[in-house]
Structure 1
């Protein structure tokens, strides 16, 4: 890890095209994430500084741990499962568990994660954001039944999925410049049903577009301010509590990790080939702890 200014450390030397979906694997004490356009999964061990990566057959927008030590990957054409990724060994085969029939050409999954009960949520988007196409959908996947259901449609770039510590509030953002909003929903933990949508944050009034997010143990919502080089923390009532500067313009997603879940890892999007930190992953200590990431429930 390389120390940067203001208590921020760079992890590894990799530069991702679009670094997304960081997930802290507590049993391995390692961070995993996906580089979407390069069709690559990454693993970093903070104790040793070792970085490993594996190729995947499609662009993986997000990933979630499974109870057997493997991974669920939301890719271009659907959801896939893979066995445990072992450093120094080839990636195991990915098995499709659900197929998506997109309504527009050039679509893929984007941001996603499991709810506190182990259901997987992920959104789809049209990759050409200049079209501002509202073909994006928010899906819920229940691995016990294999059901993949559309819960919300008419999204452009779904992002910012997160759940409150008690699981009773779900957050979703749309990071497209035409939207720049974060919504909160009441969430029925028994059925996995969101209701009562309301605007939680109008990001048009804050720096950056609302990209990937995480929730800390106090219930505050951390959202990457894409294009602004900041990560914002909002309180439960939608009030901006603080903003943390990161050393790249386009932070993509954040996740809590480390032994005490007191480290915030932030991935980024590579936009400047001359900037060695564009596309990098950094770690910082925000002064609060996060919550362990749920695994997929079978």
Structure 2
């Protein structure tokens, strides 16, 4: 087994009390950190040159689970929202939906959900994590919205193509999370968190298709009560994986072995994101505060740690058609 490097973070970078902080994203040209709060429907920005005092937030009318930049468009970014893909103006916060995820049949009542709510599939679902591949396709996973119904395997992994056609790439998913590709783009990594593992699939970058029948376990969470959540890839191709429920981010090598571990002062860690050599790590409020009282204080905070390695470049969505 390889030697494990240890980091310990005791204080937050931003103590925001997010309901579900997610999707830390580096706007490199602006040196700005962008991230979301899915539960409280907020979008957050921090000018990293100025630090935490520069934090600003936008209140939204809907939840956003994931965001990405658009190639050739510095004024707007693309997102996976409550009901589909949309575009938002960075300066004004104006947004528009460009591709809905759900069809007319899925907007009809089907007897699902809790009594009085969640009567249609569209209402029951929301976007969660996502990532853009080297050819500019934006993959976004949708899952049951816990505020509306219990989580089942009704989730879908969508792929938005540059021509704005939408592909339902993988179905029967519970909680879609960390998605990325090997540096040579021959394999795709995907996390369905309740499985406790990240799975590696052969990937055809020319077509944007993964061979779902040939998936092999890449990383299995070894921490009791923890599951892999979002992850970030570094320039060496290693992964920094949030372990939700175990208060950790771990660095995993290409053999799926843990080679570094970041200990954090709250349990429900959701996603790391690189800004230079620093990781910014989001979290959620503590789900079981009576049992895990130690985790309550900084639940929903954002943490910062310099890990001495840069992140792999983030791909941008290639908008091949006006939206």
Instruction: Identify whether the pair has TM-score above 0.5, normalized to the shorter chain.
Output: yes
Query: Match for 2:82 among 52, 76, 89?
Result: 76
2: CA distance, partners of 1:132 / 1:54: 28
Matched residue of 2:241: which SS?
Answer: strand
Shift of 1:13: 3.6
Return the match for 1:264 from 248, 254, 279.
279
Deviations 1:172-208 (A, max 9, x none): 11112xx2221111222222111232111222x3352
Q: Give the deviation of 1:267 after TM superposition.
A: 0.3
Which structure 1 residue ranges, 4+ long, deviate > 6 Å from structure 2?
none
- Calculate the TM-score normalised by the size of structure 1: 0.88
1:185 and 1:198 in contact (8 A); partners too: yes
Write the distance in 1 (CA, Å) between the matches of 2:282 and 2:151.
Answer: 24
Q: Distance in 2 between matches of 1:11 and 1:136?
A: 33
User: Which runs of 5 or more residues in structure 2 are unaligned?
Assistant: 1-6, 107-119
User: What is the match of residue 196 of structure 2?
Assistant: 180
Is the 2:272–2:279 Cα contact (8 Å) retained in structure 1? yes
Is residue 184 of structure 2 the alignment partner of residue 163 of structure 1?
no
1:286, CA displacement in angstroms? 1.7
1:165–1:215 CA contact under 8 A, matched in 2: no
Between 1:13-22 and 1:159-168, the stretch displaced more is 159-168
Classify the secondary structure of the residue corresponding to 1:10: coil
1:94-152 superposed Cα distances (whole Å, 9 cap, x missing partner): 1111111257352101010111222100111112398441111111101x311111111
Pick the structure with greater CA Rg: 2
SS in 2 for 1:252: strand
Matches within 5 A, 1:1-16: 6=8, 10-16=12-18
**TM-score, structure 2 as length reference:** 0.82
SS at 1:61's partner residue? strand
Q: Report 1:68-107 matches (<5 A).
A: 68-69=73-74, 70-83=76-89, 85-86=90-91, 90-92=92-94, 94-101=95-102, 104=121, 105-107=123-125
Distance 1:75 1:280 in 2: 22
Aligned length: 282
